[in-house]
Amino acid sequence: KKSDNYYVEFGAEATKTSKAVKYQVEIPAAKVTPELAEFVDKEVILGIRPESLHDDEMFLSNAKTGIINCTVEITEMMGAETFLYLDCAGIPLTARVDPRSTARPQDEIQVALDANKIHLFRKDTENNETIIN
């Protein structure tokens, strides 16, 4: 939490061979609930669907948070869309993007998470119940 805003931080820890990589996503005001205060400084699970990750320049240029650097591992052209299988600081992600995307395997790209589409789940329970949807 920073002032009146809530953020989710994620990324990789520092190791002997790599620096720590941390990203932040601001939780939109419409998703902030009184229950969210209970999870400040606690681990949660962030979920996002592939169609809510964007690599197009227009979305990236308008995003204020949630921009992450990734390595493209595999591209799968599906006709009306392309799936990008990504490694983002050791976290595997799948993005469903426009078929005109120029991303190719081994490219270093940026993607932006649509913060309005994130889901947060409790990490401290067996059933990972939803915090925000």
Q: What is the pLDDT of residues 23-44, one digit of tens each?
A: 888 888 888 888 888 888 888 8
Q: What pTM did the predictor assign?
A: 0.81
Chain mean pLDDT for the chain = 87
- pLDDT at residue number 57: 93
Domain spanning 7-132, CATH architecture = Beta Barrel (2.40)
- List all residues 6 or more positions away from 7 whose beta carbon is below 8 Å from its beta carbon: 1, 24, 25, 26, 27, 65
